[in-house]
Amino acid sequence: MLEKLKVVEKRYTEIGEELMLPETVSDNNLYKKLMQEHKHLTPIVEKYREYIAAEASYEEAKTLLDEGGLDKDFKELAEEELKDSKEKMEQYFEELKILLLPRDPNDDKNVIIEIRGGAGGEEAALFANSLMRMYTMYAESRRWKVEVLNLNATELGGVKEVSFMVSGDGAYSRFKYESGVHRVQRVPETETSGRIHTSTVTVAVLPEAEEVDFEINPTDLQIDTYRSSGAGGQHVNTTDSAIRITHIPTGVVVECQDERSQYKNKDKAMKILRSRLLEAEMQKQTEAIAGERRAQVGTGDRSERIRTYNYPQGRVTDHRIGLTLYKIDQILNGDLDEVVDALITHYRAEMLKSESSEG
């Protein structure tokens, strides 16, 4: 591993030199690519240099103690330095193992989150709206931008389905664990007997796909326009501004009616389509690599129940890692970091196990 770190540090230095060259600065794409690589390598190199410094302190203290002839106070100082340096080296070595784990190439991307009410009718639609609010508040707490791409609301304030984009550095790395079925257990406001109902909502998290990530042949698209309608079916406007795009080879259908402009709706629909097709391609690749599949937290499958929100008990349970927190109000108000951090820690531990068994 230390040899690998020397190579990483060398590459880091090379990138720093390349970024200073006039030809690099004048090439926006190259500059952006190198800056991104530099950013990814920075925490690894910084930690490696901390390890090297601790190792130097350890060797210096060891040499002094081996030579002998130290007075009592100086010997105690050297022994303490030896112990501290060894502990730091062990700590940094474990941290470097995690930093060197293979990165998900999509981690830095923006995300498109799609939420759909599942079993439970209007109650599911109301909870879908609660999840949209939770994710929006979480994104805003991290100063990320939220843009609604398509919204199909109900008359009672629920959401049949919604697609929205979260733009921000590392958005996918935090949201990617949310894909799956979210289950809610609570007494609906319309329920007079006080019985607890169970409803489900499906969440899909897609990394935003840029045109360079996934090229779509225009001849593979069927584009239809129709009039936008809102809750209850009333017309939002009287022009054919809503867009339906069908990707003929895969049968994927995307609709967008959120904007009054047909052009804007088409642009948003294409963003969703491109990301859905990229996700399908990623699923194929993941399924082809059995070891990587086993290292995933869950399968990311939309049919897999991942979390339960139990209102009477004030409890949120993530079934993939057996985490239960009695803070449902805080979580639904966007305080998701404890859940996300636990998932990331678990995922990294599984990756380390997988790497060790392969090594």
Query: DSSP secondary structure string, 48-91?
Result: HHHHHHHHHHHHHHHHHHHH----HHHHHHHHHHHHHHHHHHHH
Alpha carbons 103 and 116: distance in angstroms, whole number:
29
**Cβ-proximal residues to 229 (8 Å cutoff; 6+ apart), any chain:** 235, 236, 242, 257
Residue at token pair 């380390």: 352
Annotated domain spans of the chain: 2-99, 111-334
By CB atoms closer than 10 A (0-12, 13-18, 19+), residue 291 is exposed
pLDDT for 301 equals 46
Average predicted confidence (pLDDT) for the chain? 83
How much is the pTM? 0.67
Share of the chain above pLDDT 90, in %: 36
Contact (Cβ atoms closer than 8 angstroms) between residue 162 and residue 114: yes
Classify domain 111-334 at the CATH class level: alpha beta
Is 154's pLDDT higher than 90? no
How many helices (H) and strands (E) the chain has is answered by 10, 11
Q: Which among 32-46, 115-129, 307-321 has the top mean pLDDT?
A: 307-321
CB 174 within 8 A of CB 156: no
In degrees, to the nearest 5, what angle opens at C-alpha 72 toward C-alphas 70 and 77?
80
Cβ atoms of residues 65 and 75 within 8 Å: yes
Could you give the CA distance from residue 7 to residue 45 in angstroms, rounded to a whole number? Answer: 10
Enter the tokens of residue 15. Answer: 């990138």
- Beta-bridge mates of residue 323: 318
Count CB atoms within 10 A of the CB of residue 132: 20
Average pLDDT over residues 228-235: 50
Q: Rounded to an integer, what distance in angstroms lies between the CA atom of residue 161 and that of residue 114?
A: 7
Average pLDDT over residues 98-119: 85
Distance CA 240, CA 260 (A): 9
Is a pLDDT exceeding 70 seen at residue 77? yes
pLDDT of residue 226 exceeding 60: yes
Residue 17, pLDDT above cutoff 70: yes
Q: From the centroid of its chain, how far is CA 173?
A: 3
288 vs 351, residue with greater confidence: 351
Identify the three-state secondary structure at position 284: helix
Task: State the pLDDT at residue 189.
Answer: 67
Q: In sequence order, what are the residues at sequence separation of 6 or more whose Cβ sits closer than 8 angstroms to the Cβ of residue 204?
A: 113, 114, 179, 279, 302
pLDDT in the model for residue 128:
93
Q: pLDDT band for position 242 (50/70/90)?
A: confident
Helix (H, G, I), strand (E, B) or coil at 150: strand
Give dist(CA 10, CA 12) in Å, integer.
5
List the one residue out of 132, 162, 133 whose CA is nearest residue 149. 162
CA-wise closest residue to 311 among 138, 186, 214: 186
